[in-house]
Amino acid sequence: MAARSSRRRAETTPESPPGVEINGEQRDGAPSGEKGMSGADIQIAICGSAGDGTIAAGDILRNAVAEAGYKVISFDVYPPEIRGFGKCISRLRITTDQAYSLKERSDVLLSLDDSHTIPHVGEVRDFGAVICEAKPVGHLAEGEHLSAHILPGQIPYSLPIRELSEKATGGNRSRNIVALGYVAGLCDLPKAPFLRIIESKFKKQGPKVIANNAAGFGAGYEAGCQTFKLDDVHFAPPARALQPGAKVTILNGNHAVARGCLDARLTTFFGYPITPATTIMERLATELPRHGGRLLQTEDEISAIAAVIGAGYAGSRSATSTSGPGLALMGEMLGLGTIAEVPAVVFVSQRGGPSTGMPTKTEQSDLNAALYGSHGDSQRIVIAPTNVEGCYRCAGKAFEMAERYQTPVIVLLDLYLSNRYETVELSASGPPFELDANVHAKRLKPGEVYQRYVLTDDWVSPRAIPGDPGCMHVITGLEHNALGRPNDSEEMHELMSRKRHEKLQGALRHPDFTHVKRFGDAGKVEVGILAWGSTFGECLEAMIMARAEGIRCSAMKVVMLSPLPEAEIRAFLDDCGAVLVPELNYEGQFAQLVQGRLARPVTRLTRVPGGPMPVAAILAEIRRLAGRC
């Protein structure tokens, strides 16, 4: 192998900041970006056109490095057109230490289509690698080749991708695999995990296809190994110590939701396809029947939620998934689930809106719809995971809460979280969920009448399942008395409205569930960051970087959005000189919620870029609030 230059980036390296508590553990507190991270921290972006195999190459890469022991955060960008034309980008951040978001500047950019890659050259850091086709087919006009756009300080790597593919496989269909092999060789990644993933990915297509792709990868890998490395884009060996009984897997948010559903013993699922939630239903369509459950694709979202409520009434653990437009259609039936006190779980993956909006872009703009999207006073439980592992745990816990508090539960994701891959450590000792959280009706004495909505100390009534002996009862969408019989008197409506709201307060004490959690500096701080959903990873990276600059800073994630943990949030606000609320919507919906409930001022940072919140934007606002700019 050719010698490697020892030249490093001409930048100063800050001292590592104090450690930060993440998921109950002290983690290395180094910031994201190009400085300060011990071990490996390399981001690779693969850019091409639909049909080039861009996403497939990214999929092989993330699975191979995860198998090799590295931590991965990955997010793919798809074109919005149904016919599949347009740009595809696969971005992967691969680290040995803990990281919480993608970096804004990649270390390696691989082009499979120069016309789509050229606009992203500026996203590569100084002395980063830009890899392009050395021998394009046909004549290119001036400025059409990527090499004409590489910036000073970036390192070009020109590779005859098509030629290597044709020599190794007899055709050019393996261009993406050849290029992937080159990246692996250039970065000193181990070869064996890639070959295992390639074999697994193409096994259904037969040994010839496996052999061709392995040959293409090998040709690219050899070329990468023989290339003179002008920079430090290479990987330190992984050093991962697993918790006892834990196993590592790589999942995206939607796959984690599906797995959480299965581990919580979901029995029925009803859904209608909609981007970006469709893959939840697709995964369950394959897996649920193997676990004894059933899935039905309904004619629309209204039918889906109606079926979920019907199944929940019959005693089945049932769920559906949708996005903003589908959630809008479910409002009336969610009101029925609220007044009838029937458990139901709805997974909502948010996308750009309003209306059809931007189906393949992310946003956090359905919070108000999730909280208030029905008629009358119809409060329901709303929870929002902040990472892929959280998607798994929130999915399973949603069924517990729906049963325990007898109400619809909405789990809010967004496209960024649904499609983001992360390495996740899950317990191998079995599902961490309660498989029956119902408050069951007791066997009645002779002559005793079952009261479905009887008042109790915690406002949760014993729930009978149809068929339970002696527990005949009425369920209606009308206001009703304790027996379930229609009653619209002033006193009864006041009482039952209180019952439906007060029982949800128990969710704020639901066991083994992270409602809120604080990270960073304890006690009084200059700036506090209050965040929810997928944006929290970027907030955490920004907080770590701010602390490295000497700013006393803390961040709180809020997972339980309804009912809102007001006491914990108020205590956090009391510790903060200034409070920043970053979120991916134009109106600042979560900031409005906090200000309206707590009557406390916050600083809003709202963006609607269609992608993740830039860490630099959050950091700049922290500096401004701390008086450091």
Cis peptide before 17 (omega within 30 of 0): no
201 and 252 share one domain: no
262 and 188 share one domain: no
Please say if the pLDDT value at position 34 is more than 80. Answer: no
Of 427, 461, 484, which residue constitutes the final position of a domain?
A: 427
193 and 307 share one domain: no
Q: What is the pLDDT of residue 478?
A: 97
Residue 14, domain member (yes or no): no
341 and 372 share one domain: yes
203 and 278 share one domain: no
As for how many domains the chain has, the answer is: 3
Closest CA to 147 of 102, 105, 167, 117: 117
Q: Which domain holds residue 344?
A: 248-427
Residue 77, domain member (yes or no): yes
Residue 587, domain member (yes or no): yes
Of 380, 398, 427, which residue constitutes the final position of a domain?
A: 427
Residue 3, domain member (yes or no): no
181 and 286 share one domain: no
pLDDT band at 551 (very low <50, low <70, confident <90, very high): very high
Give mean pLDDT, residues 328-333: 98
Please say if the pLDDT value at position 6 is more than 50. Answer: no
Q: What is the pLDDT of residue 407?
A: 98
148 and 116 share one domain: yes
For 516, the token pair is 């809120």
pLDDT band at 84 (very low <50, low <70, confident <90, very high): low
From CA 151, how far away is CA 147, in angstroms rounded? 9
Residue 333, domain member (yes or no): yes
- pLDDT tens track for 553-592: 999 999 999 999 999 999 999 999 999 999 999 999 999 9
55 and 202 share one domain: yes
210 and 288 share one domain: no
Residue 10, domain member (yes or no): no
- For residue 579, what is the domain's CATH number? 3.40.50.920
- For residue 61, what is the domain's CATH number? 3.40.920.10
Give mean pLDDT, residues 245-270: 92
pLDDT band at 241 (very low <50, low <70, confident <90, very high): low
Q: Do 219 and 164 contact (CB within 8 A), yes or no?
A: yes
216 and 252 share one domain: no
Please say if the pLDDT value at position 380 is more than 50. Answer: yes
184 and 306 share one domain: no
162 and 253 share one domain: no
- pLDDT tens track for 414-470: 999 999 999 998 877 777 899 999 999 998 888 899 999 999 999 999 999 999 998
Mean confidence (pLDDT) of the chain = 91
- For residue 316, what is the domain's CATH number? 3.40.50.970
Residue 254, domain member (yes or no): yes
Q: What is the pLDDT of residue 443?
A: 87
From CA 469, how far away is CA 222, in angstroms rounded? 72
- Least trusted range by pLDDT, from 23-27, 179-183, 616-620: 23-27
Residue 268, domain member (yes or no): yes
Report the percentage of the chain scoring pLDDT > 70.
91
Secondary structure of 248-301 in HEC code, one letter for each residue: EEEEEHHHHHHHHHHHCCCCEEEECCCCCCHHHHHHHHHHHHHHCCEEEECCCH
Of 427, 447, 464, which residue constitutes the final position of a domain?
A: 427
